[in-house]
Amino acid sequence: MGAAERLDSDELVVNRNEVEIRIENLGVSFPDKDGGEPVIALQNINLDIMQGEFISLLGPSGCGKTTLLRTVAELQQPTSGKITVRGQSPREIRLKKKYGIVFQNPVLLDWRTVRRNVCMPMEMMGIPKKDRTARVTKMLELVGLMEFGKKYPHELSGGMQQRVGIARALAVKPEILLMDEPFSALDEFTKEKLHEDLLRIWKKTNKTILFVTHNIQEAVFLSDRVVVLSPHPGRVSAVVDITLGRPRDLSIKSSPEFNAMVTKVRNSFESL
Amino acid sequence: MNKVKKALSSSKIVTFVWVLGMIGVWELGAATIARSKRTPENVLPHLYQILESIFSHKLVNSTQTALQIVLSNAGITLLRAGIGFLIGIMIGYLLALFMSLFTAVEKMFFPYLMIIQMIPILGMAPIILAITKDIDNSRIVIAAILTFYPVATNTLAGFKSVEKEKHELMYSIAATKFQIYTKLLIPSSIPYFFTGLKISAPMAITASILVDTLQGGGGLGCMLSQSLKHAMTIYVFWQIVFVSALIGILSYFLMTVIEKVLSPYKRATKVKKR
């Protein structure tokens, strides 16, 4: 598929019974700086993430949840085991831009307007300007920033900056959206609004979303499944199916079912 | 009391007080010297005397008034400093690029760049003159030498200051090395590059004036030494003192203005941490 046609094609075909990301016996360790024993960040991780699934990696700091996400993004090399995305290696999907990534900080370029920030990944692919402009407009509409295209990042609030980050990640029509604690720096009100919007965007675009968080409520509200990780060494200690119906809105947060799920996830920590 | 404090801390007032204070000290000195010396204008004339010489129509050589001499020679000096400055910017920028692209180049050159910077201009000038065999060219070369170092080091610092996260973003969208430079590193380093220019612009001018004093061929420094040797009125010297200070300051502000025009986003917020 050429660069130009990519944006024309229809949204992704998703079969929720097929595996999107397969993680097999994955281990990641970092060499110790003082030459001692290497630090084991992840050990023996096995996980299948289905197409179109919203999955959260949940755990305390040091459990390797971010490392796991970074390994999928090929920002980190595995020490053992492997990751395949529809049969392809993380390197292949990175080079083909099949994932979009949203970091904890928005990581916007200060000298570019909102529009040109969203546009940047498409510039890298050599997509013609006309198609880029149309796509940027569509993306800004999706994240609700239509009026802010000409603004510079410093003129936006933290929540808006993170919306720009999401628009940028989605601009090249990736199959997968990787999100590394994207809302952890935001206040509660902004966060809740973004949760709802993220679910709407997810539904509309059929992405597979891998979402890293240390917030139990956030994980339960958003996800189809919550992968609970525990530290030293980082490993999967439980996978909890979130059986809440969809679509979800903020009102379910006060429902007994929601609280039951949160308790269930919390208990899976306490039993560690 | 608070009002006074507030008024004093406003930058315009502070500048005003400074200027007033400096004029006061100058005039006090001039008045003291006028009483004790036979030719006080050689040591410290009154400010009004300098002003008078600026507006005087009296020819100080066969064709020009003092102001005409100063301004025409200021043009010569500025031209040389300007050419040297531009050459220095180019060399400095290319050097920063190479040092950033190849660590080996950085290791090889960086420590020695500082040494070049430590040689006093007046020590370097005769050597450069011997090499170029032309006083005009050596003035340009020296302005370039003084320019390239701040530009190279600041730009390199700019390349290195880019956050790891931004590099990871570029990696995640499979940017080529060329794209990383054109879309990330070069735009990020612009404020640093301009810091280099702001340091080196007045330096290039100072160097050019200093090297002027070594030999003839016009230029502010040349006239300055002639005036000091009483080959022409001493007021040419005093005018040059003010004109060169003005040019130096203006060169700095010119860089600030160019930077503002080139970067529409506000710099102040760059420093702010989330």
Here the CATH number for the domain that contains residue A238 is: 3.40.50.300
Chain A hits for B190, CB-CB cut-off 8 Å, are: 111
Co-location of A139 and A261 in the same domain: no
Q: For chain B, state the CA radius of gyration.
A: 23
- Minimal Cβ distance to A185: which of B174, B272, B274: B274
Q: Show which of A154, A173, A192 is a domain's final residue.
A: A173
Q: ipTM score here?
A: 0.90
pLDDT tens column, A172-212 = 999 999 999 999 989 999 999 999 999 999 998 889 999 99
Co-location of A205 and A163 in the same domain: no
Q: Do B266 and A152 touch (CB under 8 A)?
A: yes
- Minimal Cβ distance to A105: which of B174, B175, B274: B274
The answer to whether B224 touches B237, Cβ cutoff 8 Å, is: yes
CA distance A108 to A125: 18
Q: Do A111 and B263 touch (CB under 8 A)?
A: yes
Residue of chain A nearest B178, judged by CA positions: A124
Chain B hits for A75, CB-CB cut-off 8 Å, are: 168, 171-172
The percent helix, strand, coil of chain B (3-state, each to 5) is 80, 0, 20
What's the pLDDT at B1? 60
Closest-CA residue to A11 (of A179, A196, A175, A129): A175
- Which of helix, strand or coil describes residue A63? coil
pLDDT band at B152 (very low <50, low <70, confident <90, very high): very high
CA distance B71 to B236: 10
Stretch among A3-12, A168-177, B23-32, B227-236 having the lowest mean pLDDT: A3-12
What's the pLDDT at A8? 59
Mean per-residue pLDDT over chain A, rounded: 90
What's the pLDDT at B8? 66
Residue B177 in contact with partner chain A when CB distance is under 8 A: no
Co-location of A94 and A199 in the same domain: yes
pLDDT band at A2 (very low <50, low <70, confident <90, very high): low
Q: Percent of chain B having pLDDT more than 70?
A: 95
**Count of domains for chain A:** 2
The number of residues making up chain A comes to 272
Co-location of A63 and A169 in the same domain: no
Q: Tell whether the model's pLDDT for residue A19 goes beyond 70.
A: yes
Q: Do A111 and B184 touch (CB under 8 A)?
A: no
Instruction: Name all domains of chain B by residue range, CATH numbers in brackets.
Output: 2-44 (no CATH), 65-273 (1.10.3720.10)
The answer to whether B152 touches B93, Cβ cutoff 8 Å, is: yes
As a whole number, mean pLDDT of residues B229-236 equals 80
Measure A108 CA to nearest chain B CA, in Å: 8
What's the pLDDT at B271? 43
User: What is the span of the domain harbouring residue A91?
Assistant: 1-98+183-272
Chain B hits for A99, CB-CB cut-off 8 Å, are: 172
CA distances to A56, A141, A199, A222, B171 from A248, rounded to whole Å, are 16, 21, 8, 8, 35
pLDDT tens column, B127-139 = 888 888 888 888 8
pLDDT tens column, B48-88 = 888 888 888 777 777 778 888 888 888 888 998 999 999 99
Q: Which is more confidently placed, A269 or B231?
A: A269
The answer to whether A214 touches A181, Cβ cutoff 8 Å, is: yes
Q: Show which of A173, A197, A219 is a domain's final residue.
A: A173
Mean per-residue pLDDT over chain B, rounded: 85
Measure B265 CA to nearest chain A CA, in Å: 6
Q: Percent of chain B having pLDDT more than 90?
A: 35
Question: Does residue A76 lie in a domain region?
Answer: yes
Q: Which is more confidently placed, B6 or A202?
A: A202
Residue of chain A nearest B170, judged by CA positions: A121
CA distance A227 to A240: 6
CA distance B249 to A166: 46
Q: Do B265 and A158 touch (CB under 8 A)?
A: no
What's the pLDDT at B273? 40
Beta bridge pairs of residue A213: A58
Residue B230 in contact with partner chain A when CB distance is under 8 A: no
Q: Tell whether the model's pLDDT for residue B189 goes beyond 80.
A: yes
CA distance A157 to B190: 25
What's the pLDDT at A119? 94
As a whole number, mean pLDDT of residues A118-137 equals 91
Q: What is the pTM of this model?
A: 0.84
